[in-house]
Amino acid sequence: MSAATGARTVQDVLEVLESAYPLHWAESWDRAGLVLGERDAPVERVLLAVDPTVAVAREAVQHGAQLLITHHPLLLRGASFLPADDGKGAVVTSLLRAGTALWCGHTNVDRSTRGTVGAWLRALALQSPRPLLPGEEQAEAGHGSVRFGLGVVGELPAPTTVGELTETVAALVPATARGILHTGDAQRPVRTVAVCPGAGDSFLDAAAGSGADVYLTSDLRHHPALEHLETAADPAEVPALIDVPHAASEALWLPLAEELLAEALPGLEVRRTAHTTDPWSGRAG
């Protein structure tokens, strides 16, 4: 809080975020933290989004938000030039002109019980949860956040089927043009679920060895998915797959972030973006 004005500052919000989602929880290649803005700038309004797109940045400015919080980093792969007629340059230009700061929380948020993995734990009411990847060092952070892991395996409260679970997931996440995909027999029984929010085809082997009936993740490419399904002659010997559009799978974190800020900083105006950042807008066939 600013000593001069008594107003909340960007730093006040960052202290909450980085207490619940410590930056050292992020993967070494990640780019989590304050990307743009002044730490001592006053803040009254915050906008939450999955991606810092041009449309989201303009929405933040139009809303009068002094801070934009997104899940995905703006400059994950770096940039040498940011002219205003470039997409990322337009984001930077729009936000800096308006005095709007940008904070991104990525894999540090992914592995938190108050982050994306926690959002899916809550959404599916998973019981007896355990990390998808063995060896994740669990640790407590601020505001009840626990470092859990980049994925989770747990039991559903009641048995279901692949088809029914896919319909449940479709009702939980924002609608997209592509919808939710699943493999195999829609009537296949399901009780144990493995989940990795966001891109998870690198964890297919872990899912296969987890005892799960189905693996729910995003960005499943043709060859890794097919190789997974073909590892046994009997399809029932490997987990079925449910593929959720990437941004939709991680949008479940936004209500948890809103809840965290409301608890820690009452009176701060926090809203979620009106934009979907899924890149696809239509389909045929």
Q: In angstroms, rounded to a whole number, what is the distance separating the alpha carbons of residues 75 and 136?
A: 27
3-class SS of residue 70: strand
Length of the chain: 285
Instruction: Say whether 30 counts as a known binding-site residue.
Output: no
Instruction: Say whether 259 counts as a known binding-site residue.
Output: no
Q: Identify the helix (H) or strand (E) that includes residue 146.
A: strand 146-147
Output the six-digit token pair for 142. Answer: 């601020």
Classify residue 5 by burial, with Cβ atoms within 10 Å: 0-12, 13-18, 19+.
exposed
Q: 227 with 245: CB under 8 angstroms? A: no
Q: In angstroms, rounded to a whole number, what is the distance separating the alpha carbons of residues 257 and 253?
A: 6
Q: What is the largest CA-CA distance in the chain?
A: 70
Q: Which of 127, 128, 121 is nearest to 172 (CA)?
A: 121
Helices (H) and strands (E) in the chain, counts: 10, 13
Instruction: Say whether 275 counts as a known binding-site residue.
Output: no
Instruction: Say whether 110 counts as a known binding-site residue.
Output: yes
Instruction: Say whether 24 counts as a known binding-site residue.
Output: no
State the binding site for a divalent metal cation: 71-72, 110, 246, 250
- Binding positions are 71-72, 110, 246, 250
